[in-house]
């Protein structure tokens, strides 16, 4: 029998497990220039790498959310670009199979998610974060009482320009208890968002 995933916080044991991102660094970090590959994928200039389907899916889902942000940002939010260096930070952490934030991620924001195998695909993970928009009040810059919305605000943070994510099927340290396999996703964002007292845009 498949166990359900957890939603939002481990103690609640709800359908999915998501934790808020916490910035770590200077909000004025200068992004690298970005180029567009002939097939439409994005990578920082000089990267010279084609994006995997996983990277495209993550980038597309994040950029769709940024384009649909409400209230509508003016000017519009810039699309994120894929950064192999930011991706490597996420990859090194996801390999640890420890469902907690990476304190050694440097100047990057972070969203993490865990689910039982087959529960989510890549776009579903981002949708879980973006669905928190329903719990975010832009006017007061707060989450609804008892709700989480920091994943969403990181996704639509205006000054964030670069994205790197990784995923792994883990067989140890399950946040669901026991030794059942679980899927772990990590996305890092540069520059980071979610600075206290600041709206995302």
Say what the pLDDT of residue 5 is: 35
Beta bridge partners of 111: 187
Say what the pLDDT of residue 185 is: 99
Percent pLDDT > 90 in the chain is 74
According to DSSP H, which parts of 44-170 are helical?
Answer: 53-67, 84-94, 122-130, 150-155
Selection from 136, 118, 134, 138 nearest residue 180 by Cα: 118
Q: What CATH class does 14-24+50-190 carry?
A: alpha beta
Tokens 């998610």 sit on residue: 113
- Tell me the mean pLDDT in the region 100-124: 96
Q: What is the rounded CA–CA span in Å between residue 28 and residue 44?
A: 18
Over 60: is that where the pLDDT of 11 sits? no
Q: Which helix (H) or strand (E) holds 17?
A: strand 17-19
Say what the pLDDT of residue 178 is: 84
| Contact status, residue 116 vs residue 123, Cβ threshold 8 Å | no
Say what the pLDDT of residue 141 is: 98
Mean pLDDT of the chain: 83
Selection from 21, 58, 44 nearest residue 162 by Cα: 44
- Tell me the mean pLDDT in the region 93-116: 97
Over 50: is that where the pLDDT of 135 sits? yes
| Contact status, residue 15 vs residue 180, Cβ threshold 8 Å | no
| Contact status, residue 39 vs residue 55, Cβ threshold 8 Å | no
Q: pTM above 0.85?
A: no
Long-range contacts of 61-68 (CB under 8 A, 24+ apart): 61/122, 61/123, 61/126, 61/127, 61/130, 62/126, 62/155, 62/163, 62/187, 65/126, 65/130, 65/152, 65/155, 65/156, 66/155, 66/156
Over 80: is that where the pLDDT of 142 sits? yes
Segment among 48-52, 109-113, 142-146, 151-155 with least mean pLDDT: 48-52
Tokens at residue 36, please? 């567009």
- Tell me the mean pLDDT in the region 95-101: 98
Tokens 């000054």 sit on residue: 159
Strands 182-190 and 109-115: antiparallel
The pLDDT tens digits for 35-82 are: 333 334 444 433 456 999 999 999 999 999 999 999 999 999 999 999
């Amino acid at each position: 029998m498949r166990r359900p995933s957890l939603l939002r916080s481990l103690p609640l044991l709800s359908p999915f497990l998501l934790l808020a991102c916490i910035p770590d660094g200077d909000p004025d970090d200068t992004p690298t220039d970005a180029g567009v590959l002939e097939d439409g994928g994005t990578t920082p200039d000089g990267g010279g790498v084609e994006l995997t389907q996983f990277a495209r899916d993550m980038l597309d889902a994040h950029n769709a959310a940024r384009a649909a942000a409400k209230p509508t940002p003016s000017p519009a939010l810039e699309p994120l670009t894929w950064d192999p260096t930011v991706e490597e930070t996420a990859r090194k952490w996801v390999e640890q199979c420890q469902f907690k934030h990476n304190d050694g991620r440097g100047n990057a924001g972070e969203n993490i998610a865990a689910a039982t195998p087959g529960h989510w695909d890549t776009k579903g993970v981002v949708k879980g974060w973006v669905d928190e928009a329903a719990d975010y009040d832009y006017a007061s810059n707060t989450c609804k009482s008892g709700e989480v919305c920091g994943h969403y605000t990181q996704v639509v943070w205006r000054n964030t320009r670069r994205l790197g994510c990784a995923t792994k099927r883990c067989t140890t340290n399950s946040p669901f208890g026991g030794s059942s396999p679980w899927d772990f996703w990590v996305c890092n964002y540069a520059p980071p968002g979610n600075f206290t007292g600041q709206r995302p845009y």
